[in-house]
Amino acid sequence: MDGNRRFAVKNNLLKEGGYSRGFGKILATLRWCKELGIKEITVYAFSIENFKRSRGEVKTLMTLAGDKIQELLTDDEIVNEVCVRIIGNMLLWPEQLKQKCAELMLKTKDNDEMFLNVAFVYTSRDEIANSAREIVAGVKSGAIEAEDIDEGLISDCLYTSGRPDPELIIRTSGEIRFSDFLLWQISHSQICFLQVLWPDVSFWYFLVSIIQYQRHCNDLKKPGSRQVKSERVRKFLDRLQQRRLAQLQDFVR
Q: What is the pLDDT of residues 118-165, one digit of tens each?
A: 999 999 999 999 999 999 999 999 999 999 999 999 999 999 999 999
In the chain, DSSP assigns E strands to 40-47, 82-87, 114-122, 168-171, 190-193
CATH superfamily of 4-123+164-225: Decaprenyl diphosphate synthase-like (3.40.1180.10)
**What sign does the dihedral 162-168-173-174 (CA atoms) show?**
positive
**Can you give the pTM of this predicted structure?**
0.92
- β-strands 82-87, 114-122 pairing: parallel
**In the structure, what pLDDT confidence band is assigned to residue 219 with cuts at 50, 70 and 90?**
low
pLDDT value at residue 221? 62
49: CB partners within 8 A, 6+ apart: 123, 179, 180
Lowest mean pLDDT among 1-5, 155-159, 180-184: 1-5
Domain ranges of the chain: 4-123+164-225, 124-163+226-253
pLDDT value at residue 15? 86
pLDDT value at residue 52? 93
Instruction: Decide if 43 contacts 182 (C-beta within 8 A).
Output: no
- The pLDDT of residue 225 is above 60: no
70-119: per-residue pLDDT in tens?
A: 999 999 999 999 999 999 999 998 888 999 999 999 999 999 999 999 99
Instruction: Decide if 231 contacts 88 (C-beta within 8 A).
Output: no
